[in-house]
């Protein structure tokens, strides 16, 4: 089958300008990519706009990278329509995220035997603003002893919304006074109480399709210093475990663009936050890792479209539960089996073969871009749009330094 197949990639964006510009630039330079069957694939991008649509209209896009629909219903419903009716490939599918907030993700991973810290869901502090609900609360809500629950979990603990994100409503609770004050101010937010993990290392793993980057993270640092540039900060076994957990979480829920936070104490890995519909990929926070992230997004997009990968809107929980329910398997053995399911879901072997065969020059092209003027302009423009004027010079140098370090490391890697 000869011929050229054109693909249009839609970007559904919020306020960000950095990664879309990078993605558009790299995609525009892809040229025609053969797929081994005689066909050649070309790629264009378009920023999607919000407008009325007929449910029967045909979309022009073949794949959408979504950064918006988690918060806004109109684009979300459009995504559902194009996923259901037109087989548009969506990173991430709104079907997988709408029902899967932190709470559901905790439940599923506990069922798989992962070491999610002890977590309790408590009823709303204030009844939600609805006549019938107030009546129901009055009539059916059981009184409960918040102090006793907290004492059972142990102080310090974390109180956080069941569906949180961006630290909204998160507090570290050290004693009974703080417990009551946090609960009283939770209002209509539905809260978890969670045992705190006294960790040695905080890791954040960003997964894009079949690839995962594990980064050391410092949640207490200012935004531009949270991701630390460190290598081998976990032993090989724990490092592999962190990667396996990230992939299993993502394959289980069919998430293809997600970050997973895990706290590591000794050799134990505790996942605490892994349902991020729009994971952080800002240049000003990822810095060193930014070129990797954009390259992975481009590669996964090309792989999905050129190989005709079909999106899965359903999950396959039973395959995982059949493993988790086997009494004879220990944690490690289960994790290995889940990881095999995850590799199969992401077609990991095919993905790496495809990249080696058809995208072999992309590493060098991304390196040239990251060391060239286009990338430097991106740094300058992003800093100017993000920080107050007096801080521009300092931050431009800061991000030039960190991304320059990536350029050095990547140059060494490619010439090795
Ligand atoms: N069980 C825990 N043990 C130790 N620290 C925790 C725990 N839960 C949360 N934290 C701390 O609180 C922070 C925010 O919690 P969490 O990640 O669950 O909320 P979030 O709103 O999703 O935040 P973000 O969107 O920034 O990831 C974590 O980054 C971590 O520093
Ligand atoms: Mg978090």
SS3 assignment for 213-280: EEEEECCCCCHHHCEECCCCCCCHHHHHHHHHHHHHHHHHHCCCEEEEEEEEECCEEEEEECCCCCCC
Rg (CA), the chain: 23
Q: Ligand 1: which atom is nearest the Cα of residue 198?
A: 4
Q: Count, in order, helices (H) and strands (E) of the chain.
A: 16, 14
**Residues 335, 245 contacting (CB under 8 angstroms):** yes
Give residue 133 CA to ligand 1 midpoint distance, Å: 30
Distance CA 203, CA 262 (A): 5
- Hey, whose CA ends up nearest to atom 22 of ligand 1? 165
Q: Is 262 in the pocket of ligand 1 (CB under 6 A)?
A: no
Give residue 378 CA to ligand 1 midpoint distance, Å: 30
Report the half-sphere exposure of 350 (CA within 13 A, side-chain side): 16
User: Crossing angle, helix 102-111 and helix 236-253, to 10 degrees?
Assistant: 120
Q: Give me the tens of pLDDT residue by residue for the chain, a chain 416 residues long.
A: 579 999 999 999 999 999 999 999 999 999 999 998 999 999 999 999 999 999 999 999 999 999 999 889 999 999 999 999 999 999 998 888 776 689 999 999 999 999 999 999 999 999 888 888 888 888 999 999 999 999 999 999 999 999 888 889 999 999 999 999 999 999 999 999 999 999 999 999 999 999 999 999 999 999 999 999 999 999 999 999 999 999 999 999 999 999 999 999 999 999 999 988 899 999 999 999 999 999 999 999 999 999 999 998 888 999 999 999 999 999 999 999 999 999 999 999 999 999 999 999 999 999 999 999 999 999 999 999 999 999 999 999 999 999 999 999 999 999 99
* pLDDT on residue 99: 64
Give residue 150 CA to ligand 1 midpoint distance, Å: 18
Q: Is 198 in the pocket of ligand 1 (CB under 6 A)?
A: no
Q: Where are the alpha helices (DSSP H) in 112-235?
A: 131-140, 146-153, 176-186
- Hey, whose CA ends up nearest to atom 31 of ligand 1? 219
Give residue 167 CA to ligand 1 midpoint distance, Å: 7
In eight-state DSSP terms, residue 312 is: -
Ligand 1 test: best mutation among 273, 276, 277, 285, most atoms within 8 Å of CB? Answer: 273
| pLDDT tens track for 70-121 | 889 999 999 999 999 999 999 998 888 776 689 999 999 999 999 999 999 9
Q: 192: alpha, beta or left, given left = phi > 0 and alpha = psi -120 to 50?
A: beta
> Which pair of structure tokens corresponds to residue 39?
């066909």
Give residue 188 CA to ligand 1 midpoint distance, Å: 20
DSSP state letters, 323-384: HHT-TT--HHHHHHHHHHHHHHHTTHHHHHHHHHHH-TTHHHHHHHHHTSHHHHHHHHHHHH
Give residue 283 CA to ligand 1 midpoint distance, Å: 22
Give residue 105 CA to ligand 1 midpoint distance, Å: 14
Indicate which ligand has the atom closest to the C-alpha of 105: 1
**Residues 62, 9 contacting (CB under 8 angstroms):** yes
Q: Which residues surround ligand 2, an ion (CB under 5 A)?
A: 261, 273
**Residues 83, 95 contacting (CB under 8 angstroms):** yes
Q: Is 273 in the pocket of ligand 1 (CB under 6 A)?
A: yes
In eight-state DSSP terms, residue 198 is: -
Q: Ligand 1: which atom is nearest the Cα of residue 161?
A: 21
* pLDDT on residue 255: 94
Within a 10 A sphere around the Cβ of 95, how many other Cβ atoms?
19
Indicate which ligand has the atom closest to the C-alpha of 167: 1
* pLDDT on residue 331: 98
Q: Is 220 in the pocket of ligand 1 (CB under 6 A)?
A: no
- What order do you get walking across the sheet with 119-122 strand by strand? 119-122, 191-195, 157-161, 171-173
Q: Is 160 in the pocket of ligand 1 (CB under 6 A)?
A: yes
Ligand 1 test: best mutation among 166, 198, 218, 219, most atoms within 8 Å of CB? Answer: 219
Give residue 327 CA to ligand 2 midpoint distance, Å: 32
- Hey, whose CA ends up nearest to atom 17 of ligand 1? 273
Ligand 1 test: best mutation among 261, 263, 270, 280, most atoms within 8 Å of CB? Answer: 261
* pLDDT on residue 1: 56
Distance CA 243, CA 260 (A): 10
**Residues 249, 269 contacting (CB under 8 angstroms):** no
Helix or strand or coil: residue 313? coil
Q: Is 219 in the pocket of ligand 1 (CB under 6 A)?
A: yes
DSSP state letters, 387-412: S-GGGHHHHHHHHHHHHHHHHHHHHH
Ligand 1 test: best mutation among 170, 193, 268, 274, most atoms within 8 Å of CB? Answer: 170
């Amino acid at each position: 089958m000869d011929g050229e197949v054109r693909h249009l990639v839609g970007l559904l964006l919020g306020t960000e300008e950095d990664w879309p510009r990078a993605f558009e630039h790299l995609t525009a330079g892809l040229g025609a990519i053969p797929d081994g069957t005689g066909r050649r694939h070309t790629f264009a991008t378009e920023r999607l706009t919000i407008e009325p649509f007929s449910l029967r209209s045909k979309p022009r896009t073949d794949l959408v990278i979504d950064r918006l629909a988690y918060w806004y219903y109109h684009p979300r419903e459009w995504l559902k329509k194009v996923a259901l009716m037109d087989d548009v490939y969506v990173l991430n599918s709104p079907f997988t995220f709408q029902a899967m907030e932190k709470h559901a993700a905790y439940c599923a991973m506990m069922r798989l035997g992962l070491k999610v810290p002890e977590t309790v869901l408590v009823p709303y502090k204030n009844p939600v603003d609805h006549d019938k609900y107030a009546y129901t609360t009055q009539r059916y809500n059981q009184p409960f002893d918040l102090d006793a629950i907290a004492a059972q979990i142990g102080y310090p603990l974390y109180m956080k919304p069941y569906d949180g994100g961006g630290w909204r409503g998160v507090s570290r609770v050290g004693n009974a006074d703080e417990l009551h004050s946090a609960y009283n101010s939770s209002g209509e937010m539905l809260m978890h109480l969670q045992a705190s993990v006294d960790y040695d290392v905080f890791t954040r793993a960003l997964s894009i399709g079949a690839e995962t980057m594990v980064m050391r993270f410092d949640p207490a640092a200012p935004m531009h210093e949270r991701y630390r540039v460190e290598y081998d900060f976990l032993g090989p076994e724990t490092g592999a475990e962190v990667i396996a957990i990230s992939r299993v979480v993502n394959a289980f829920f069919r998430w293809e663009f997600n970050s997973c936070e895990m706290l590591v104490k000794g050799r134990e890995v505790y996942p605490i936050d892994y349902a991020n519909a729009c994971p952080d990929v800002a240049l000003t926070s990822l810095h060193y890792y930014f070129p990797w992230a954009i390259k992975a997004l481009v590669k996964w997009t090309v792989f999905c479209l050129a190989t005709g990968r079909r999106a899965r809107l359903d999950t396959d929980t039973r395959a995982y539960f059949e493993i988790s329910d086997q009494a004879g398997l220990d944690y490690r053995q289960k994790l290995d089996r889940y990881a095999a399911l995850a590799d199969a879901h992401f077609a990991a072997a095919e993905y790496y073969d495809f990249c080696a065969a058809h995208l072999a020059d992309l590493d060098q092209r991304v390196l040239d871009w990251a060391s060239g003027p286009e990338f430097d302009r991106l740094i300058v423009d992003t800093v100017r749009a993000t920080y107050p004027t007096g801080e521009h010079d300092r931050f431009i140098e800061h991000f030039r330094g960190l991304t320059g370090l990536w350029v050095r490391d990547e140059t060494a890697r490619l010439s090795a």
